Structure 1
Amino acid sequence: MKKMEKKYIPLAQFFENSKQNTFTLTYQEIQNIMGHELPNAAFLNLSWWKKTKAPSTHYFAWTNYNYQVIHVNLGISVTFSCSQEEDMPNQKPKNAYIIRPIEANDARGFINLQEEILAQTNFGYFTPDEQGLTVQQVRKNITDWRKQKTSTVLLCIYNGQFAGYAQLVGNEASKIKHIAGVRVAVLEPFQKQGLATALLAESEKWAHVNNISRLEANVMVHNEPALTLFKKVDFTFEGKREKAFLLDDQFIDEMQFSKII
């Protein structure tokens, strides 16, 4: 497999996972997949998309998987195809997603994703008006996570859209540095497609690489989808915290799970 710049690897993973012959991605969707901005040349020059020779390597992201660029609307969208058809249907990709660590360029998208999820469910710790995150705060957190290697956010990008995330929150204290809490959230339009399960699987891989051997999860007692999910992936029920949350003037218990990996 021909190598490319590191920032294009998530895009290559997207094409590897794609099962559709021809589809169109907007520039923003491509940047969402990458977690980085495209270079200025991609916005200004059709030739950037048509290059297939050294010293450039960005095109390996799609040519490694037999895709080629068949149409470019500069600054707006790009159509890729691995078929011999000459037509250029303006189709969106179907059921292609990647899961990758958050990048600094994702800060605004991640905040928007959390706000959308909070507006759709009451299973989170915060109400929509309590989150109060800023782009600067998220970017600082990302920098700290990379230094500490005990916490991270894994983003699920589905057909170029922010679909969900898994957040792992670890510890710096040596006696509990092997433990991280994990929570998973997926936007309603992308649910029931296995994304939460995939996010947990990638969380376990990340934890293993970073010497975390125990994952913990806390779930509200009425959050049936999450309870089913953690049981499905072999988390062990450890106990219940009574009156852990106050929701609409009613106390809600919390279920505690863990998994040794």
Structure 2
Amino acid sequence: MGEEVIIRKVKVEDAQSVLSLMYKLDRESKFMLLEPEERTTTLEQQIQIIQSYKDSQNKVMYVLTNDDKALGFVDGIGNTANRNKHCMSLVIGLVQAISGQGFGKKLLNNLEGWAIPHGYSRLELTVMQHNERAKRLYESCGFKVEGLKRNSLVIDGKYVDELYMAKLLIG
């Protein structure tokens, strides 16, 4: 990619680009949750979603962008009950054209940099057991496998297991 690629917090002006990214990821990857054509989010809904992140203390989204279009994202949503409000679940996605260039690690580092001062000491995610590339990324960032979620998804008519992974940020 010739353009400069940056990571920054999502802005309302990114709504169309982020929505296009989500639809693209649905089409090009079987590792995301939604199948092609399953997503029904409208531009208006995407704008509302992004607005809900503004000044939030329990959720954040970073986008990887060349300021023309979003190429990746990481989304962190924290729990709110007293007993688990230190835990944040995350989802990450990158277009295939830029995978393997270190952007996933940079996105995760940005999320972690936001999570710690906002009181989060645990990041959590699930990953399909056969997604070796993603597992390597998460492990290289300090995530550990904590459990197996058997038959948690159905892809192409077959059951797929997911791994629970987490990273302790403090203590």
How does the TM-score come out when normalised to structure 1? 0.61
1:130-141 → structure 2 map (5 Å cutoff): 130-141=38-49
Shift of 1:189: 1.0
Aligned to 2:87: 179
* Structure 2 residue 38 is the aligned partner of structure 1 residue 105: no
Contact preservation (8 Å) 2:17, 2:69 = no
Q: Root-mean-square deviation (CA), in Å?
A: 1.6
One-letter amino acid matched to 1:109: S
* Structure 2 residue 138 is the aligned partner of structure 1 residue 243: no
In the TM superposition, structure 1's runs of 4+ consecutive aligned residues that sit over 6 Å from their partners are none
- CA distance in structure 1 between the aligned counterparts of 2:101 and 2:68, rounded to whole angstroms: 16
Aligned length: 169
1:1-261 → structure 2 map (5 Å cutoff): 93=2, 96-158=4-66, 160-261=68-169
How big is each residue's C-alpha offset from its partner over 1:26-79, in whole Å with a ceiling of 9 and x where there is no partner? xxxxxxxxxxxxxxxxxxxxxxxxxxxxxxxxxxxxxxxxxxxxxxxxxxxxxx
Change (3 A) 1:123 1:246: same
One-letter amino acid matched to 2:95: L
One-letter amino acid matched to 1:221: Q
- CA distance in structure 1 between the aligned counterparts of 2:22 and 2:109, rounded to whole angstroms: 21
How does the TM-score come out when normalised to structure 2? 0.91
Contact preservation (8 Å) 1:243, 1:252 = yes
- CA distance in structure 1 between the aligned counterparts of 2:49 and 2:57, rounded to whole angstroms: 12
Change (3 A) 1:173 1:148: farther
- 2:45 counterpart SS class: helix
Shift of 1:232: 0.7
Shift of 1:123: 0.8
- Higher percent of residues as strand: 2
Contact preservation (8 Å) 1:154, 1:199 = yes
Among the aligned pairs, what percent are the same residue?
A: 25
Shift of 1:142: 2.3
Which structure is higher in RCO with an 8 Å CA cutoff and minimum separation 6? Answer: 2
Bigger Cα Rg = 1
